[in-house]
Amino acid sequence: MRKYNGRSQVLVTGGAGFLGSHLCDRLLGEGHDVICADNLFTGSKRNIEHLLAHPRFELMRHDVTFPLYVEVDEIYNLACPASPVHYQHDPVQTVKTSVHGAINMLGLAKRTGARIFQASTSEVYGDPDVHPQTESYWGRVNPIGVRSCYDEGKRCAETLFFDYHRQYGLDIRVARIFNTYGPRMHPNDGRVVSNFIVQALRGEPITIYGEGEQTRSFCYVDDLIDGFVRYMRLEGPVPGPINLGNPNEFTIASLAQLVIELTNSRSSLVKRPLPSDDPMQRQPDIARARETLQWEPRVQLREGLARTIDYFDQLLREGS
């Protein structure tokens, strides 16, 4: 792997997003040169404005559905709207971002000899009939539903990554990301943690879908980024996929009550019908990550929520 002055040249697509901006922080902190490519559809300059003057950071406004010509040692492909509100806004573009974006980034990796990381998702498992979900489970996905633009787009991207690995010998890393939360989440992205926190801080009713008995596993962003970097630092052929997430499972109703407690809110709970194809269970089996990466989450939900609440409280006070 090429290095200049002992530093790797790293491309992060979607680098102005929630996860991407934290990854840029981590990579710069380790001394690498970072190119952040983002079309700012769901990403925000606010997330990276503290990096804009950094001598080893470069922001490129770029859509990954078009080729990108840069010289890099590593690629983290994170570009894609990841919340239902955003990826259902323009489902055709969502599929293009996953599929064309994967093709373009894989082509770049092939040309430069870069190691490439794909931010896949637990949504490749669909509404699972296996619990918890292991990497060997093929999933139960509706190919024509309203969530399919994201679910099937990510599944196709995984196919492309493994075919490039088998056909061209590309050094790939495929991580399946489970629910993640923390500072820099978009306040209006429709995800359960940000929804609950914003509603609670505003004193609005907290919206529960169904009876709130569906379960999720919540990983704090710092833990997840540590998993990314550990995975990319492994030598040898380790294409994955590897689940990255917190195996502790919580009902949505219990999450709502914890958010109310931590915000000292008087918000009540309001129930709405379940959205189409919304999975009832989501919990990662992380045995492979523990064994391969010596990784597991360290930040517990109460601690992570407190940090995230502080971020949103400041955001709302600023009127952002």
1, pLDDT greater than 60: no
pLDDT in tens, 290-309: 999 999 999 999 999 999 99
Residue of higher predicted confidence among 130 and 73 = 73
Question: 9-181+220-246+284-298 adopts what CATH topology?
Answer: Rossmann fold (3.40.50)
DSSP 8-state class, residue 83: S
User: How many whole angstroms from its chain centre is CA 93?
Assistant: 18
Question: Predicted confidence band at 87 (pLDDT cuts at 50, 70, 90)?
Answer: low
Q: Residue 171: exposed, middle, or buried by beta-carbon count in 10 A (0-12, 13-18, 19+)? A: buried
pLDDT band, residue 42 (cuts 50/70/90): confident
The C-alpha atoms of residue 22 and residue 64 are separated, in whole angstroms, by: 20
Phi first, then psi: give them for residue 8, nearest 5 degrees.
-85, 150
Give, in degrees to the nearest 5, the angle at Cα 233 between 186 and 19: 0
- Average pLDDT, whole number, for the chain? 92
Please pick, among 76, 87, 125, 150, the residue that the annotation labels catalytic: 150
Q: Which pLDDT score, from 0 to 100, does residue 134 have? A: 94
Helix (H, G, I), strand (E, B) or coil at 144: coil
Mean predicted confidence (pLDDT) in 259-269: 94
Q: Determine how β-strand 115-121 pairs with β-strand 172-177.
A: parallel
Strand 180-181 to strand 206-209: parallel, antiparallel, or no bridges (unpaired)?
unpaired
Convert the pLDDT of each residue in 205-244 to its tens digit.
999 988 888 888 999 999 999 999 999 999 988 999 999 9
Cα Rg, the chain, nearest whole Å = 19
Q: Active-site residue 209, yes or no?
A: no
9-47 b/e (C-beta count within 10 Å ≥ 16 → b): bbbbbbbbbbbbbbbbbbbbeeebbbbbbbbebbbbeeb
Q: Is the pLDDT of residue 96 over 80?
A: yes
- pLDDT at position 277 is 61
- pTM score: 0.93
Q: With H, G, I as helix, E, B as strand and everything else as coil, classify residue 74.
A: strand
CA angle 185, 191, 193 (to 5 degrees): 70
